[in-house]
């Protein structure tokens, strides 16, 4: 009988060395790479977001910040009114680190005394958690600051005396010299005077007499371009600062209008003292 036959079945010789060889399974490498790629993508996104927020923080705190004009007090230079597209302005925060405000500068400042607050209401939520989130967002200019900010034009600086008497017909004077104020729309003042039956916008002061007020060193006297419709320094002469604004409360100089795009452009300084 043939040794390779048993019970009629054929047997195949087995190579012992082949049985001991390791077996390899071919795997799709993309299966392992997917989690790695996903994690890498998320890390890159996080880094980009951190860089953007970092730049926004630096620019907001030290260079530029956006504000919204709250009222019509600076028309026609800056527009603002209830229900309209209020001007979005960009303020230069660096300029007064190296120089002092000058007559004619349009500035944003924090209300220096409670007399300026009027009907102002904090933009913060009453919910303490949301309030804190809004505080953090304000660091990046993604939420308004929790302070009453106003925008006016500097008329007089420390050491100067400002005054207006309707009877003399000179208008606002600084150190006795009448101002040249081309930014005032006189027809707008006449219209306001007519619409209010003489209550606002009358005379060469476009309002009531005031002064003389000597501006303390380190302070400025500010007024709105829409003179007959502006609760500016004149309205606060009875407070502890006589309506003047400490330079330390000025947040910056208005450089340009960012929005609406139809009004996009620079905001210049016009020195009314000549």
The two structure tokens encoding residue 13: 């010789």
What the block records as the tokens of 45 is 């996104």
Pairing of strands 210-214, 161-164: antiparallel
Positions marked active-site: 73, 152
- The structure tokens 């890498």 sit at 40
Q: CA 245, CA 236: separation in Å to the nearest integer?
A: 10
User: What's the rounded Cα separation, in Å, for the pair 133 and 140?
Assistant: 11
* 265 sits in which H/E element: strand 265-266
Of all helices (H) and strands (E), which one includes residue 98? helix 95-98
d(CA 259, CA 243): 30
Integer Cα distance of 251 and 150 in angstroms:
10
């Amino acid at each position: 009988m043939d040794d390779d036959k048993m019970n009629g079945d054929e047997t195949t010789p087995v190579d012992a060395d082949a049985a001991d060889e390791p077996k390899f399974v071919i795997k799709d490498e993309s299966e392992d790479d997917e989690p790695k790629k996903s994690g890498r993508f998320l890390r890159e996104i996080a880094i980009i977001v951190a860089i953007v927020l970092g730049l926004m923080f630096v620019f907001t705190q030290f260079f530029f910040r956006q504000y919204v004009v709250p009222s019509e007090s600076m028309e026609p230079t800056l527009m603002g009114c209830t229900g309209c597209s209020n001007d979005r302005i960009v303020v230069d925060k660096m300029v007064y680190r190296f120089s002092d405000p000058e007559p004619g500068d349009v500035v944003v400042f924090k209300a220096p005394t409670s007399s300026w607050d009027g009907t102002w209401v904090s933009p913060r939520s009453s919910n303490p958690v949301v309030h804190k989130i809004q505080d953090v967002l304000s660091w990046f200019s993604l939420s308004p600051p929790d302070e009453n900010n106003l925008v006016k034009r500097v008329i007089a600086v420390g050491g100067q005396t400002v005054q207006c008497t309707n009877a003399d017909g000179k208008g606002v004077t600084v150190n006795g010299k009448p101002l040249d104020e081309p930014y005032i729309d006189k027809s707008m003042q006449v219209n306001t005077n007519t619409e209010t039956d003489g209550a606002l916008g009358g005379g060469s002061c476009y309002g009531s007499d005031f002064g003389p007020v000597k501006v303390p060193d380190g302070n400025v006297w500010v007024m709105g371009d829409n003179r007959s419709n502006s609760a500016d320094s004149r309205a606060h002469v009875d407070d502890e600062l006589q309506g003047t604004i400490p330079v330390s409360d000025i947040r910056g100089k208005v450089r340009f209008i960012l929005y609406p795009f139809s009004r996009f452009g620079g905001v210049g300084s016009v020195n009314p003292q000549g």
